Amino acid sequence: MHAGQRQPRVISCERERSVTENYSINTKSRRITTEPYYLSSGNEIRLFEASYDARLPVMLKGPTGCGKTRFVEYMAYRLERPLITISCHEDLFASDLLGRYLLLQEETVWVDGPLTQAVRMGAICYLDEIVEARKDTTVVIHPLSDNRRILSIDKKGETLKAHSDFMLVISYNPGYQSVLKDLKQSTRQRFVAMPFAYPPLDNETQIVAHEGQINVNTAKRLVGFAHRIRNIREHGLAEGASTRLLIYAAQLMNRGIPEREACEMAICQPLTDDEKIQETLVELVADIFYDA
């Protein structure tokens, strides 16, 4: 390691999964080898394909747990591109994306970070929750997300021209907006943007039934519960119940947890610490699963 350099930290910014319940990813080639389950709600597939064809960077806007990540995974499979996903967090520096020098058996070697790997191999690079990352990361992605399509690795004195298949995708939750964590116009205006919302009722029912392996009637009730919660948001909840939480509840039910208990554990408790709102949510559960 060079003198004065930051000690390399072990970071867990990349999701590495060899197998999920739904599909598998080859961790070396970063190719998704079986089709991820994705239920489309509009023309988002067509829009993404056109953006990819034009090599435009894409911003997915929407609440947490509504299907943005699954969509990118599905599109990477469909377009037959490797996918590198980076979950951004407040300790994510530009150097974590670019790479670093490491001391290996008395030799200093450069190790590419996930963004550099994606740029070299022509992968789709998905920066999940970009506003959470350190501000210096935007400096790195700007020249990549305009017509220059270059990545500057200062520490190596190298400027990389992105592989012709490389694509940058970021996600952003407008619900978390604050002055400190807003995306600057100079960043926003480098992307085309696709709004994401919770899937329409019938679709969400199908998704919850499929992913949670429960019957459609119970899934319908869960989605009905979520809609009631989403409607009472103005009473103090920061965000509605996500599709992800509904699937968690379904997965608990599938393992024999009674419906009301599953809802309280997977939906009511994660959503808020406010006792009053909690009471309202529990009453809603009892109202919907009255016969459980």
The contact set with ligand ADP (CB under 6 A) reads 37-39, 64-70, 199, 207, 211, 243-244, 247
Please, which residue, 11 or 39, has the CB nearer to ligand ADP? 39
Please, which residue, 69 or 280, has the CB nearer to ligand ADP? 69
Residue indicated by tokens 């690079």? 125
Residue type at 181 in one-letter notation: K
Please, which residue, 64 or 116, has the CB nearer to ligand ADP? 64
Task: Tell me how far CA of residue 159 lies from CA of 116, 151, 153, in angstroms.
Answer: 11, 6, 6
In the complex, the smallest distance separating the C-beta of residue 66 from ligand ADP, rounded to whole angstroms, is: 5
Q: Which residue is nearest to ligand ADP (CB)?
A: 67
232 burial via Cβ count (<10 Å: 0-12, 13-18, 19+): middle
Tell me the C-alpha distance between 146 and 55, whole Å: 10
In the complex, the smallest distance separating the C-beta of residue 23 from ligand ADP, rounded to whole angstroms, is: 11
In the complex, the smallest distance separating the C-beta of residue 286 from ligand ADP, rounded to whole angstroms, is: 25
Q: Are 194 and 47 in contact (CB under 8 A)?
A: yes
In the complex, the smallest distance separating the C-beta of residue 79 from ligand ADP, rounded to whole angstroms, is: 17
CA atoms within 13 A on the CB side of 200: 6
What single DSSP character describes residue 292?
-
In the complex, the smallest distance separating the C-beta of residue 35 from ligand ADP, rounded to whole angstroms, is: 11
Please, which residue, 12 or 164, has the CB nearer to ligand ADP? 12
Task: Tell me how far CA of residue 202 lies from CA of 36, 45, 92, 189, 237, in angstroms.
Answer: 20, 19, 38, 34, 24
Tell me the C-alpha distance between 2 and 147, whole Å: 34
Sign of the dihedral defined by the CA atoms of residues 269, 90, 29, 45, in that order:
positive
Please, which residue, 166 or 198, has the CB nearer to ligand ADP? 198
Is 160 strand, coil or helix? strand
Please, which residue, 66 or 162, has the CB nearer to ligand ADP? 66
